[in-house]
Structure 1
Amino acid sequence: MTVTSTSTPDRDSRPRAGTPAYRRTVIALIAAAVATFAQLWSVQPILPAVAQDFDTTAAQAALTISLATGGMAGFTLVWSGLADRLGRARVITLSLALATLVGCVAPLTGDLLPLLALRALQGAALGGVPAAAVAYLAEEIHPADVPRATGLYIAGNPLGGMGGRLLAGMAAEYGGWQWGVGANTLLGLLALAVFVLVLPRTRTRSTAPRPHDNGGENMAARLRAALSTRGLLPLYAQALLLMGAFMTVYNLLGFRLMGQPFGLSQAAASLLFLAYTAGMAGSAAAGPMTVRWGGHTVLTLAGALMVAALATLAAPSLAVVIAALLVLTFAFFSAHATASAWVGRQAVRARAQATSIYTLCYYLGSSLFGWMGGLVYDAVGWNGALAFAAVLTVLAALVALRLRRLS
């Protein structure tokens, strides 16, 4: 008599960590993140140059960031619907291609209003990547390795943001803000090529159109699920409030460093964006920290670190400012990676729509509160802007109390 085993093997055939398919998928998504965030934030380190060239205020110059992030926020749901129909990989490719085309035109503008319009269009085009990327990983990677893969993808956000900001700052030192934007368009094109060439060619849930996905539910039903599922609203609030606090600091950082008491040059001030390396570390560490301590604990600790860093950024010492930026950036991206992955796990019925709403809140926070932070800075200065960011961070921590029982 033959005795058969009663154990049930793991029949999920999706790639596990350490396999070639997993590595190629993660590398491709990191490249997509680099292309997205290098172009999205290319203007941020050169806002003083934009303000000087167009003879405008810090708040008005910051609209080049706010309108881009606002465009991204406004179109994430549109892109998520297209991803359901066309496939997530195709949407990511189309999104990056359109954004790069717009980026080629932006340096040719000679007035602020056309530049603002093009930045809004570029942000709208870039919305396809965050609308589809986390859902792509949740569907294409083995569930046990999704938090790690998501953390690595999120680490590509500060990698692209940091690289793009440094590139823009250095290029603008020699050729004005136009060179800064143009250099990042070229970087985006190269990263798009990496995404297309490296992503595994599989016809699975995220690469094929899925007209009958979600049990035939229409968009309205999926949106209702994304808004009513327990725990998702507090997670959306984390994106809105924490990103607003973070962008308040980074939008105004160049003005602070190029003014007194520091008096740094454009190129030297842009080097402070190397603090984004701490963001890559925070994103990558978020997955293991969440597994060990739980998501709510990670969010709480990250919020406390952000408040401490914001208080320290008021110091007149450059060394202290650098240290505080490192802590702030590590804490923010730890929180962002934790909340983003949590949304992907929590939203079972409407994952694409939930991740899109999270992304919408994330960039709405950047657009709205980043602009409001500029108004505060113009009115009462750097310390007032830091206090504004601290209030947003505390509000996020209070809302996160609703997540304790889900962690």
Structure 2
Amino acid sequence: MARHAKGTAAYRRVNLALFLAGCATFAMLYTTQTLLPQLSGAFHLSPAQASASVSVATGALALAVIPVSMLSERWGRTRIMTVSVFAAALLGVLAAFAPDFGTLVALRTLQGVALAGLPATAMAYLAEEIEGTSLPAAMGLYVAGNSIGGMGGRLVTGLAGDLGGCRTALLTIGLVALACAVAFRVLVPRSRNFRPADRSARELAGTLRTHLADPVLRRLYLLGMLFMAAFGTVYNYLGYRLLDAPFNLPEAVVGAVFVIYLAGTFSSAAAGRMVGRFGHRGTLWAASAVTAAGALLTLPDHLVFVIPGLVVLTAGFFAGHAAASAAVGLRATRGRAQASALYIAAYYLGSSLGGPLGGIAFHDIGWPGAVAFVLTLCALAALVTAGLRTRNSAATPVTQSSARRAPARA
């Protein structure tokens, strides 16, 4: 059947529905990141222990995204997305009433599984339902919803947590996400071009094995993991540092620090230009160096260094993520959906593994320990990038436009 084109009412409905679902998904995924100091106080936890509330959600998403993407091939895109966003929102509301931290972690784990439904299917839905020349704009708006949800969710939880505590913040995000879920269900047009896949689970597993056997793709997946681990470490534990002496900032102000995420919007576009000029390998080396430089700038106990350092680190992270994820799409000649799903899984697994390990360094040594951990990850990323000198690899220069198609998720 005909696909929705720019300018039509159905196209606008698709855009708004996916924008709201993206906002809700990525606001919920990182709900507790801004609240980690409060969770430490409420449940008597170390920073590394409190960070489990973030790590279990991203880890569950990482493990669920590939199976859920397979389910969407059989059950349909809109059904999976609807169940995903409603289940996650309801679990988010329940999390506000968790009697203890163990219950909160269990609910966040289930929420991570539920949240996998949107990134696993949204882009496939858009590709099937949106007319070709209108697709880039629709993809861009969906990615914008992801970024705005990630940033806005942290801002809202910071403000709500400052006014009413961590339970109020969790309830606020849960209710906002539930409202977005209702709006999504009302707005999203049903799939008109979806056809259930007749591929067996064995065939899909074979495609995954093929991707994992590719040494270039393996390195790209590892790069996504390393960049996200470094980024998650800084943003997980920065709040503890800014709330404590010598900064002593209010929680609402600490939450507002996430506005710095906007630096990633500009660096993602810049990464496209850099890839066109220097290739993926040169861009990834530069991203590793910029991320490390940003981490070093945060070491002095003065906001005049910490804030610019965060801007630099955030720009480096998003540039590296954009370059690596674009390279995955270029390297995979078949089964691109599964190749991208593997990258998403590795990316969020980096958050799940890096967060607790960075928390141990922060707890034992302080902020210099967290920075040292980030620098180690950046050095490993540079070494992994060196191995991308492979004939016919995605590390060779490509066009600027191809790099810009890479989504910036966080």
TM-score by length of 2: 0.86
Partner residue of 2:220 out of 231, 235, 239: 235
3-state SS in 2 of match to 1:33: helix
Cα distance in structure 2, aligned partners of 1:50 and 1:392: 27
What is the 5 A alignment of 1:280-319?
280-283=265-268, 286-287=271-272, 290=275, 294-319=279-304
Mean alpha-carbon deviation: is it higher for 150-159 or for 264-273? 150-159
Cα distance in structure 2, aligned partners of 1:26 and 1:288: 27
3-state SS in 1 of match to 2:73: helix
Q: Which residue of 2 aligns with 1:45?
A: 34
**Is 1:324 matched up with 2:315?**
no
Cα distance in structure 2, aligned partners of 1:91 and 1:81: 11
Partner residue of 2:235 out of 227, 250, 265: 250
Taking a change above 3 Å as real, the CA distance of residues 21 and 290 of structure 1, as seen in their structure-2 partners, is farther
3-state SS in 2 of match to 1:93: helix
Q: Which residue of 1 aligns with 2:122?
A: 133
CA RMSD, aligned part only? 2.8
Q: Which residue of 1 aligns with 2:391?
A: none
Q: Which residue of 2 aligns with 1:99?
A: 88
Partners of 2:24 and 2:176 within 8 A in 1 = yes
Mean alpha-carbon deviation: is it higher for 40-49 or for 26-35? 26-35
Task: Kindly provide the CA deviation profile for residues 287-318 of structure 1, in whole angstroms up to 9, marking residues without a partner as x.
Answer: 56545654444333322211110110112111
- Deviation, 1:218, is 2.3
- Deviation, 1:335, is 2.4
**Is 1:262 matched up with 2:251?**
no
Paired AA for residue 100 in structure 2: D
Q: Which residue of 2 aligns with 1:210?
A: 196
Task: Kindly provide the CA deviation profile for residues 220-257 of structure 1, in whole angstroms up to 9, marking residues without a partner as x.
Answer: 21212332356321221121100000000000011010
Cα distance in structure 2, aligned partners of 1:42 and 1:177: 10
- Deviation, 1:130, is 1.9
- Deviation, 1:80, is 1.3
Partner residue of 2:150 out of 119, 136, 161: 161
Cα distance in structure 2, aligned partners of 1:381 and 1:124: 32
Cα distance in structure 1, aligned partners of 2:202 and 2:269: 35
Partners of 1:62 and 1:251 within 8 A in 2 = yes
Q: Which residue of 2 aligns with 1:372?
A: 357
**Is 1:83 matched up with 2:69?**
no
Partners of 1:248 and 1:369 within 8 A in 2 = yes
Paired AA for residue 197 in structure 2: P
Q: Which residue of 2 aligns with 1:355?
A: 340
Taking a change above 3 Å as real, the CA distance of residues 141 and 308 of structure 1, as seen in their structure-2 partners, is farther
Partners of 1:74 and 1:360 within 8 A in 2 = yes
Cα distance in structure 1, aligned partners of 2:264 and 2:154: 14
Any unmatched runs of 5+ in structure 2?
Answer: 389-393, 399-410
**Is 1:182 matched up with 2:168?**
no
Q: Which residue of 1 aligns with 2:396?
A: 405
TM-score by length of 1: 0.86
Taking a change above 3 Å as real, the CA distance of residues 159 and 261 of structure 1, as seen in their structure-2 partners, is same
3-state SS in 1 of match to 2:96: helix
Cα distance in structure 2, aligned partners of 1:102 and 1:272: 27
Partners of 1:135 and 1:351 within 8 A in 2 = no
3-state SS in 1 of match to 2:35: helix
Taking a change above 3 Å as real, the CA distance of residues 392 and 221 of structure 1, as seen in their structure-2 partners, is same
Paired AA for residue 245 in structure 1: A
Cα distance in structure 1, aligned partners of 2:184 and 2:382: 36
Cα distance in structure 1, aligned partners of 2:8 and 2:322: 23
- Deviation, 1:93, is 2.1
Cα distance in structure 2, aligned partners of 1:90 and 1:17: 24
Partners of 1:241 and 1:396 within 8 A in 2 = yes
Number of residue pairs matched by the alignment? 392
Report percent identity of matched pairs: 43
Cα distance in structure 1, aligned partners of 2:138 and 2:281: 20
Mean alpha-carbon deviation: is it higher for 146-155 or for 38-47? 146-155
Any unmatched runs of 5+ in structure 1?
Answer: 1-12
**Is 1:274 matched up with 2:263?**
no
